[in-house]
């Protein structure tokens, strides 16, 4: 939005010596000393934490406000109202009086000058620290992330994602998807799109909640984010632009409260699918879909219209069989899916760790078996039998009619009680390699032995006790090594650590063992 308060609130010199030492992104709040989400006041250059940490930046503004009694006093006080501040990590500008982000500048361009000064401070601090970090990385074979490929040494360096304020749910999903090779490569190979034109062409975009929906593209920001990962940068990438697009098109995720990672993943994939159907970037059909063009229509999974890379990779088909227990009438329905949500069987719900001795360990196969086993529907789920012409008791069974290229399995760890949504903290044992899905297929005889084998690509873990709290991290494999993604921190890890995790979402990639026109 165009803020009218800049001329009276932006009073500091761009090279002010009052700024703290060090990189702006790590400056500490002058009240609580937190270095999370630092904001600098553009009136007095004091640094405080954001409203979703301890809110001292907002309190600094509120403390500066005095009841205005006359016009002259108003003019005098307007010069020092401390209304405008700048995010020291993303360099976005915010006005507390307007309660919105700011896109304009003063006549002298002071906001942009302060922004450039903070960027220079950040770059200087990074350059000074880079040699020390590089030497530490080179001295450790584990942390250097070097692999030999065809006799030459290639650097493998994963990039973390900054937490913008309880956005670990988004970061864990983005890191997982970035390690699903076929999916990630498709987006990275899309041509870039210039979303702005006219007077603002070529400038950096600073998103605001008041911008129109026509100014944003989820596919474009998702593409930019994926391109920023795995490029060797030692500095965490800030997915701010993507997050603001999410705010625009997914109202459920506005704000900075903790969200459900699975719910976010479904919204993200659904909206990517819908936008890609519109021929984004002039690409009407993905190469993956062209390769699959020889498949029969019955084997394609299309959700809400034409197929896209989302459904080509994550899309599968379920057969839902319902049998009336009174007359025996059978009803069959085919439902496309992007993921399967699996209950943790009730007999395992008290077992919290792998080494606990009270009974057998729950396995992923137990959860899959519970999902596909014949089930008698209770009184609240009576089936409307077309032959009996009334609701009757019935049984239900799921079969998988078509397996996807990437099988996404969601373990239902959160359930509602009378007043709360509680977490099922049961450890579920899952294989890193060779998950065999053949016994869950409707027609297993039509699938070869290798067609049904899956290897783990990524896993999202929820730490904590409730869906509205806690923390999300992810494990993913990249070029034969496992990494742990914890927001801005990325570390190499061992397989033994991965298998001990209490998985929430599992991404299994189809084992690549054959070549053919329908092979990715």
Q: Are 410 and 505 in contact (CB under 8 A)?
A: yes
Has residue 485 got a pLDDT over 50? yes
Neighbours of 328 (CB within 10 A): 9
Q: Is there a domain that residue 56 lies in?
A: yes
**pLDDT at residue 435, as a whole number:** 93
Structure-block tokens of residue 76: 């005098």
Q: Is there a domain that residue 124 lies in?
A: yes
**pLDDT at residue 356, as a whole number:** 55
**How distant, in Å, are the alpha carbons of 23, 111, 352, 375, 472 from that of 348?**
49, 58, 9, 18, 23
424-445 mean pLDDT: 88
Q: Are 102 and 209 in contact (CB under 8 A)?
A: no
Q: How confident is the model at residue 515 (pLDDT cuts 50, 70, 90)?
A: very low
Nearest Cα to Cα of residue 27 among 39, 16, 17, 18: 39
**pLDDT at residue 10, as a whole number:** 86
The label of the residue with tokens 């979703």 reads 52
Q: Is there a domain that residue 283 lies in?
A: no
Query: Is 471 in the active site?
Result: yes
With 0-12 / 13-18 / 19 or more C-beta atoms within 10 angstroms meaning exposed / middle / buried, residue 342 is buried
Structure-block tokens of residue 200: 């603002």
**How distant, in Å, are the alpha carbons of 57, 159, 167, 207, 457 from that of 36?**
12, 19, 13, 21, 31
What span, in angstroms and rounded, lies between the C-alpha atoms of 211 and 206?
10
Q: What is the DSSP string of 427-439?
A: -EE--SS-EE-GG
Has residue 150 got a pLDDT over 50? no
Q: Is there a domain that residue 386 lies in?
A: no
Q: Is there a domain that residue 57 lies in?
A: yes
Q: Which of 41, 168, 301, 452 is catalytic?
A: 168
* Domains held by the chain: number: 1
Nearby residues of 190 by Cβ (< 8 Å), 6 or more positions away = 219, 223, 280, 281, 283
Over the stretch 182-234, which tens digit does the pLDDT of each residue have?
899 999 888 876 543 444 433 333 333 333 445 678 999 999 999 988 777 77
Q: Which of 5, 117, 463, 471 is catalytic?
A: 471
Nearest Cα to Cα of residue 142 among 132, 129, 157, 152: 157
Has residue 411 got a pLDDT over 90? yes
Domain range enclosing 53: 1-65+81-131
The answer to pTM > 0.85 is no
Output the domain CATH number for residue 7.
3.30.40.10
């Amino acid at each position: 939005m165009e803020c009218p308060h800049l001329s009276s609130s932006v009073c500091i010199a761009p090279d002010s010596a009052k700024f703290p030492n060090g990189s702006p992104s790590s400056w500490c709040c002058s009240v609580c000393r937190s270095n999370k989400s630092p904001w600098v006041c553009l009136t007095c250059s004091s640094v405080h934490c954001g409203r979703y940490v301890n809110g001292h930046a907002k309190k600094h503004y509120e403390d500066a406000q005095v009841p205005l009694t006359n016009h002259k006093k108003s003019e005098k006080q307007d010069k020092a109202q401390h209304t405008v501040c700048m995010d020291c990590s993303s360099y976005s500008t915010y006005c507390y009086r307007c309660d919105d982000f700011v896109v304009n500048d003063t006549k002298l361009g002071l906001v942009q000058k302060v922004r450039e000064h903070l960027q220079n401070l950040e770059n200087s601090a990074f350059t000074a620290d880079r040699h020390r970090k590089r030497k530490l990385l080179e001295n450790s074979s584990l942390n250097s992330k070097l692999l030999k490929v065809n006799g030459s040494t290639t650097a493998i360096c994963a990039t973390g994602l900054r937490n913008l304020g309880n956005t670990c749910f988004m970061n864990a999903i983005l890191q997982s998807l970035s390690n699903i090779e076929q999916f990630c490569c498709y987006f990275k190979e899309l041509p870039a799109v210039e979303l702005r034109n006219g007077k603002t062409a070529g400038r950096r975009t600073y998103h605001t909640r008041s911008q129109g929906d026509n100014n944003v593209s989820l596919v474009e920001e998702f593409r930019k984010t994926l391109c920023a990962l795995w490029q060797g940068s030692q500095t965490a990438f800030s997915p701010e632009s993507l997050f603001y697009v999410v705010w625009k098109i997914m109202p459920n995720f506005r704000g900075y409260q903790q969200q459900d990672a699975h719910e976010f993943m479904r919204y993200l994939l659904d909206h990517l699918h819908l936008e890609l159907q519109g021929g984004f970037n002039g690409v009407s059909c993905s190469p993956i879909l062209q390769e699959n063009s020889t498949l029969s229509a019955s084997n394609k999974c299309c959700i809400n219209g034409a197929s896209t890379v989302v459904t080509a990779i994550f899309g599968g088909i379920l057969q839902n069989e319902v049998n009336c227990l009174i007359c025996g009438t059978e009803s069959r329905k085919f439902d496309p899916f992007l993921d399967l949500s699996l209950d943790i069987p009730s007999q395992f719900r008290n077992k919290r760790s792998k080494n606990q001795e009270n009974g057998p360990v729950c396995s992923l196969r137990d959860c899959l078996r519970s999902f596909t086993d014949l089930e008698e529907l209770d009184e609240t789920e009576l089936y409307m039998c077309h032959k009996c012409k009334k609701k009757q008791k019935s049984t239900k069974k799921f079969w998988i009619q078509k397996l996807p290229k990437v099988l996404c399995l969601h373990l239902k760890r959160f359930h509602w009680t009378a007043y709360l949504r509680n977490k099922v903290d049961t450890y579920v044992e899952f294989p890193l390699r060779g998950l065999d899905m053949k016994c869950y297929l409707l027609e297993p005889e039509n699938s070869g032995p290798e067609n049904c084998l899956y290897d783990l690509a990524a896993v999202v873990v929820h730490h904590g006790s409730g869906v509205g709290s806690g923390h999300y991290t992810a494990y993913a494999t990249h070029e034969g090594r496992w990494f742990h993604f914890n927001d801005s921190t990325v570390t190499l890890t061992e397989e033994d650590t991965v298998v001990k995790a209490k998985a929430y979402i599992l991404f299994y990639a189809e084992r690549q063992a054959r070549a053919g026109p329908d092979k990715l």
